[in-house]
Amino acid sequence: MAEFFHLLLNIDQSLGVWVAQYGAWIYLILALIIFGETGLVVLPFLPGDSLLFIAGAFGATGHLDPVLMAGILVVAAILGNTVNYSVGRYIGPKVFSHDYRFLDRKALLKTHAFYEKHGGKTIVLSRFLPLFRTFAPFVAGVAGMRVGLFQFYNALGAVGWIVGLITLGYFFGNVPIIKEHLNTIVLIGIGAAAIPAVLGVLWKLLRGKDSSKAT
């Protein structure tokens, strides 16, 4: 069991072994990982960005069908967020006043603050931010975001995240220098995705200060 979890948490490094061992079942395994990371608040540690990038690289070598894979994983990501959102709606605002052992409270509160500042855009932006993408749909459900609006942002974010990273992996994942420095590149990518959100927060803070001075 310990070996299984080691492989699961390092699947972005061991994907070749899984492809050889499970064949066509690898599509279901990848879908379950994406579903788990986006749909279950207790599994924010599952691989996401690097997994998609590496999967795209395997698509370029012919070991996986990139179009089929992207379609399956987009559906998994949408379903994951939908389940997470539904759980959030069911639990409701009391989640912030109760101490649930299965929740990372600090990450939850950070995501809630992020959601308060960015609203529906959080569902799209959070797709590219580890931890945030696990908690954002849950927080949207707790906040009572309209189902139709949530699903619009949900689908938009899923397509952008899945197709974007698989495409990048397809074209650049097998470049030697990129393969050797994948972790660094993933961190840079995360930082690049976070910059617009951070700038948005700073802009709102500055506008708030200017407004208070004016009054």
Tokens of 162: 């899945």
- The whole-number pLDDT of residue 189 equals 56
CA-based R_g, the chain, Å: 18
- The whole-number pLDDT of residue 10 equals 67
Beta-carbon neighbour count of residue 8 at 10 Å? 17
Amino acid in position 154: N
Per-residue tens of pLDDT for the chain, all 215 residues:
565 566 565 666 678 888 888 889 999 999 999 999 898 877 777 777 888 988 998 999 899 999 999 999 999 999 999 999 998 888 866 665 566 665 656 666 677 677 767 677 888 988 888 778 888 898 888 877 889 989 999 999 999 999 999 998 898 877 777 766 666 665 565 555 555 555 555 555 555 555 555 55
Q: Which alpha helices (H) appear in the chain, and where do they start and end?
A: 2-9, 11-22, 26-39, 49-61, 66-91, 105-118, 121-125, 132-142, 147-172, 176-180, 182-214
- The whole-number pLDDT of residue 143 equals 79
- The whole-number pLDDT of residue 104 equals 59
Q: Cα dist. 75→21, 111, 142, 155, 209 in Å? A: 24, 23, 23, 9, 42
- The whole-number pLDDT of residue 8 equals 60
CA angle 73, 74, 76 (to 5 degrees): 60
